[in-house]
Structure 1
Amino acid sequence: MESQPLPRRRKPRRRLSRAQRTRAALGIAELHDGVAHRADLRTVGVTRADVRTEIGAGRWMTAGKHTVVIGSGTLTAEARHWQAVWESGSGAVLDGAAALVASGLSGFTPTRIDVSLPRNNRRHTVPGVVRHLRSTMPPALAVGIPRVKPEWATIHAAQWAVSDRQAALLLCLPVQQRLVLPERVLEAWRASSHGARHALLDVLVRDVCDGAHSLGELDFAGMCRERGLPEPSRQEVRRLPSGRVYLDTGWDDIALVVEIDGGHHAMALNPVDDALRQNDVVLSGDRVLRIPVLGLRLKPRAFLDQVVRAHQQAEAAAA
């Protein structure tokens, strides 16, 4: 009987030396601000046994099932973002304020990390991470840390904000910092389904992204009538040393002007032009109040109190 050849034994792979696996792991960790996914480590030859050795020696540490901290330091904010995506479940992406911060947002520090992931995927609880299970995932960016596109992240951040004031802030900052174009936020809002504080956000989004047209003079005139003030004039044209300017609203007989600033006023060089115009109006003898359009949405009573006081003072001065 003819003998069968013995199966060829697979030659065991030589394990990397400590120096080699350190270099390989650091190359991965540099891409993720100090952390590495176990699967990525294996692609560069760092085995499970290597990881166990380094963790046992206290040189590395774990931050979940998949996340390895290369070194024994604390996780940075960016590393926490990677951990949140890796540990929450397959297909997870940063969303809301966390996605905006990962895209470069400054001036706001989230107290939690929001992630979205497909509803049917297996998911895991991660401390400090809030999961949003979705039947249809929002559009996401493929470069860098997986995250929802800024226009959708802006809408979600405002919906998940802890207050109306924070919602307004999270709508303003991405637009003012040029992380997203206003028209894209408008498009995302129109395509979004109803969520938290929908009625307020419906006006706030238009105030921030189309502030020049969102609050008409008729709205402000109605607010004045409710406070017992005479109806102001609208869109007055003045000729000043700087040229012809358009003033939003005011009362000609008592030299009081009220400028309603939409979201576009804080962008680019608009503050410079606004300051020059206001200074010229003041130097011509008028009192000028500036009211951000968001102020009339969030604190209408406080701003109208100021308008009433200014009207009373201007009326007394004109008598």
Structure 2
Amino acid sequence: MLNDLLRTQDGVITLEQAYASGLSLPAVQRRVQSGNWMRCSRGVYFVDDRPFTNAARVRAAVWGYGERATASGLAAAWWHGLTRFAPDVVDVTMPRTGHGRCHEKTRLRRRDLDPSDVASVRGLRVTARPLTILEAAIKRRGGIELMDGALQHDIELRELWRAQLRNKGRYGSPAARILLQAAGDGARSAAERVLVKLLREAGITGWRTNHPVGGYKVDVGFPVQQIAIETDGWAFHSDQDAFQVDRRRQNDLSLLGWQVLRFTWLDLTEYPQRVIATIRRAISVREQSPRDRPRAEITGGGR
């Protein structure tokens, strides 16, 4: 029974679990004194006959705060399989009335979680996937991609909103709300507004919004250089029909002699410098290439 428990718990065991497996306190102490067991924190041990893996480290860190402690933030995201790498510092949430000081290489937050925001995954209490996604998305670079990927698979936007509303006062709540609003149905318009802001801040002129080209209106057009910039919202909004329409539109614009650049919400918000550099390069190349196209006189900034 003890071996089975240790195998499923990454070699980590609590004192209560050791008692339930038939060990007495002196028996546990003998194992620690002999070096077979390593004490991780009060009442939490690691059986030192196997590698101390990231899973063991996260489990021991959470259990060190007691049975009501919950892995949260990036630790929970990794435990759920939402991120590839385990964080160096383990985020732990415990009730406001809980006792215990912060342990080394952990980050403790005290707040009472709704039961629907807690899940048990491989025997460890972790924040449920919706709340985990919200917290992880604002803690790491590429958090938007993490949220968008979850929305493309097994999470619905309304689930994230419900978790957000249940936890309005938590750390990072305003930033998560902004992400959720951006992920709404108006995401494409929001992406266009971000693009316009980037162009103005970069001092790039000669562009027009909603510029008509061949029966279409491109999000941002450079009439002189014949560059069309199209923005996409979040990938989870896309479907096969929309994909086909966008590609047909792009082909038609290309046949009219326009270069089409596409940027996603992720590009615009996470990699704005890369976006501006790409636009500047496209403008430079088009201005250096002689073409038989009309060159309208453009003055001032975009509009």
Into which bin does the TM-score normalised by the smaller protein fall?
Answer: 0.7 to 0.9
Q: Aligned partners of 2:2 and 2:144: how far apart in 1?
A: 39
Report the counterpart of residue 31 of structure 2 in structure 1.
54
Q: CA deviation at 1:126?
A: 2.0
Q: 1:297 aligns with which of 263, 269, 276?
A: 269
Query: Is the 8 Å Cα contact of residues 191 and 233 (structure 2) preserved in structure 1?
Result: no
1:57-72 pair list within 5 angstroms: 57-72=34-49
Q: CA deviation at 1:105?
A: 1.7
Change (3 A) 1:73 1:278: farther
Query: Is the 8 Å Cα contact of residues 210 and 218 (structure 2) preserved in structure 1?
Result: no
Query: Is the 8 Å Cα contact of residues 63 and 83 (structure 1) preserved in structure 2?
Result: yes
Note if 1:95 corresponds to 2:66: no
Report the counterpart of residue 137 of structure 1 in structure 2.
113
Q: CA deviation at 1:33?
A: 1.3
Which ranges in structure 2 are unaligned for 5 or more consecutive residues?
296-303
- Give secondary structure in 2 for the equivalent of 1:146: strand
Q: Aligned partners of 2:222 and 2:95: how far apart in 1?
A: 56
Greater Rg by CA? 1
Which ranges in structure 1 are unaligned for 5 or more consecutive residues?
1-23, 240-245
- Give secondary structure in 2 for the equivalent of 1:42: helix
- Give secondary structure in 2 for the equivalent of 1:79: helix
Note if 1:172 corresponds to 2:145: yes
Note if 1:186 corresponds to 2:161: yes
Q: Aligned partners of 2:251 and 2:236: how far apart in 1?
A: 17
Note if 1:79 corresponds to 2:56: yes
Deviates more, 1:83-92 or 1:186-195: 186-195
Deviations 1:128-154 (A, max 9, x none): 1110011x3252114431011122122
Query: Is the 8 Å Cα contact of residues 236 and 249 (structure 1) preserved in structure 2?
Result: no
Q: Aligned partners of 2:82 and 2:131: how far apart in 1?
A: 14
The Cα RMSD (Å) is: 3.8
Change (3 A) 1:94 1:199: closer
Deviations 1:25-83 (A, max 9, x none): 21111221111122112212122222223333333322222222223334211112221
Amino acid at match of 2:229: V
Q: CA deviation at 1:104?
A: 1.2
Q: Aligned partners of 1:252 and 1:115: how far apart in 2?
A: 54
Report the counterpart of residue 113 of structure 1 in structure 2.
90
Q: CA deviation at 1:283?
A: 5.6
Query: Is the 8 Å Cα contact of residues 212 and 264 (structure 1) preserved in structure 2?
Result: no
Note if 1:147 corresponds to 2:132: no
**TM-score under structure 2 length normalisation:** 0.74
- Once the two structures are aligned, what percentage of the paired residues are identical? 20
Deviates more, 1:206-215 or 1:104-113: 206-215
Report the counterpart of residue 215 of structure 1 in structure 2.
190
Bigger relative contact order, structure 1 or 2, given CA contacts below 8 A and separation 6+? 2
Change (3 A) 1:190 1:228: farther
